[in-house]
Amino acid sequence: MKKEPWDSSTEKAKSFKISDFGIPDEVREMAKMPLVATSFLDARNILASLVDKPIAGKSGLYATISKKSIKEILSGEAVGKSFNLKAHLKAAVNIEKLFSNAIEKWEFELDPNKNNDSLEDRKYLYSPMEYDSRIVLVKLTIMKYKDIKAKKRLYSLHAIDADLG
């Protein structure tokens, strides 16, 4: 599979259709998120319970969250990429469910503007999330490190202002 340009991952996400994730009624059910966070502290506390716990994706991919991941997920830069703070916090606290439903439709090149020395690969997965009577997309960034101890990490996420229907 030819890799897509590193900076096209968010734009390509806007081409998703609800059928990419399954039957519409099933997708609407999968998009329901059980957890809510009203603050960064709430989100940090919920995410802390997931540190170093292997999380399974539907494709058989496993990843973990580190303390560094939590800082990245809740950073101003990550929040700024999301279309809405509340949507971002909702996605953050439901990262386990989002990852379990996420699909990887494309492979992307590594960002040449970043230090990739320790990386083997960077994956972008997408998952549906119900937000404000809409189904939007959440992009999850997974880092696969060369260091076998680091494994695959759920590194960041952001809520994309793209309706699935």
pLDDT at 165: 63
pLDDT at 1: 63
Percent of the chain with pLDDT over 90: 64
What integer is the mean pLDDT of 94-103? 96
Burial 77-98 (b: 16+ CB within 10 A, else e): ebbebbeeeebbbbbbbbbbbb
| Contact residues for 2 (Cβ-Cβ < 8 A; gap 6+) | none
Q: State yes or no: pLDDT of 107 exceeds 90.
A: no
Q: Is 85 within a domain?
A: yes
**Domain span at residue 152?**
6-163
pLDDT at 106: 78
Provide the pLDDT confidence category of residue 74 given band limits of 50, 70 and 90.
very high
| Better-predicted residue by pLDDT, 147 or 90 | 90
- The first and second tokens of residue 144, run together, are 């696969």
pLDDT at 119: 65
> H/E/C letters for each residue in 62-85?
EEEECHHHHHHHCCHHHHHHCCCH
Domain count, the chain: 1
Q: State yes or no: pLDDT of 41 exceeds 90.
A: yes
| Better-predicted residue by pLDDT, 122 or 138 | 138
Token pair 């949507």: residue: 87
Percent of the chain with pLDDT over 70: 95
Q: State yes or no: pLDDT of 109 exceeds 90.
A: no
pLDDT at 71: 96
| Better-predicted residue by pLDDT, 60 or 19 | 19
Phi-psi region of 132 (alpha: psi -120 to 50; beta: other; left: phi over 0): left
Token pair 């292997």: residue: 54
Q: Is 1 within a domain?
A: no
- The first and second tokens of residue 124, run together, are 């972008």
Q: Is 105 within a domain?
A: yes
Q: Is 14 within a domain?
A: yes
Predicted confidence (pLDDT) per residue in 78-88, tens digit: 999 999 999 99
